A and B are shown apart, each in its own frame.
Chain A
């Protein structure tokens, strides 16, 4: 049973390009969370999704950022027209339904560098 899989592990984009980060949850998990870790800062919640539905996007910047978790395939975090301030580590975590007392399962993260 593979853990939470994120790809790519490292992503370099020029300013103005688009970044697509992928997250495949653990088998049997239908809920996905995205978190961002800015340099020298702690982890911050971005968005919580279940299949075909956004549950909570209160941590997502209002512009340029979007997330989806389709019925088939991985969850995608998309950043349009990237800027240097988007450089960060982006972590995905997954959980089964009724997750209030479940372990936290994280991916290895995607380290985005905007040049």
Chain B
């Protein structure tokens, strides 16, 4: 079992739909990151969370520390949101390096 599990692996949505990507982890963490990667592109940090909820434009990220679960929501999705979304956790258990989920491939159709 991976330390960080993401679901779904693949997601196809119609433009305008509300999208949710989930992430579960198994150890205590100091921070959780949501990252975005376009095909052939670099990795961009969207959010860093240690508690609660953050919002940036159409993106919302939440975390429940007790349940060891986080969600990334995209409201009013757009084709330019098509990318791989990666959840990563940082934990003293792992020596403070990032441990990554497998990623969710999102395709938003117009």
CA distance A105 to B102 in the complex (A): 19
Known: A107-B42, A109-B42. A101 touches B95 (CB 8 A): no
**Chain A, 63-103, CB within 8 A of any chain B CB:** 91, 93, 99-103
Interface pair B97/A104, CB less than 8 Å apart: no
Listed residue (B42, B48, B103) with the most chain A CB atoms within 10 angstroms of its CB: B42
Q: Is B90 an interface residue, CB under 8 A from the partner? A: yes
CA distance A6 to B103 in the complex (A): 23
Interface pair B48/A48, CB less than 8 Å apart: no
Report A44-64 CB contacts with B as 1/0, cut-off 8 Å. 110010000001101100000
**Chain B, 59-105, CB within 8 A of any chain A CB:** 86, 88, 90, 92, 94-103
Interface pair B98/A33, CB less than 8 Å apart: yes
**Nearest-neighbor residue (CB-CB) of A10 within chain B:** B40
Q: Is A12 an interface residue, CB under 8 A from the partner? A: no
Contact of B41 among A55, A59, A99, A108 (CB under 8 A): A108
Q: Is B33 an interface residue, CB under 8 A from the partner? A: yes
**Chain A, 32-48, CB within 8 A of any chain B CB:** 33, 35, 41-45, 48
Interface pair B102/A42, CB less than 8 Å apart: yes
**Nearest-neighbor residue (CB-CB) of B91 within chain A:** A100
Interface pair A109/B43, CB less than 8 Å apart: yes
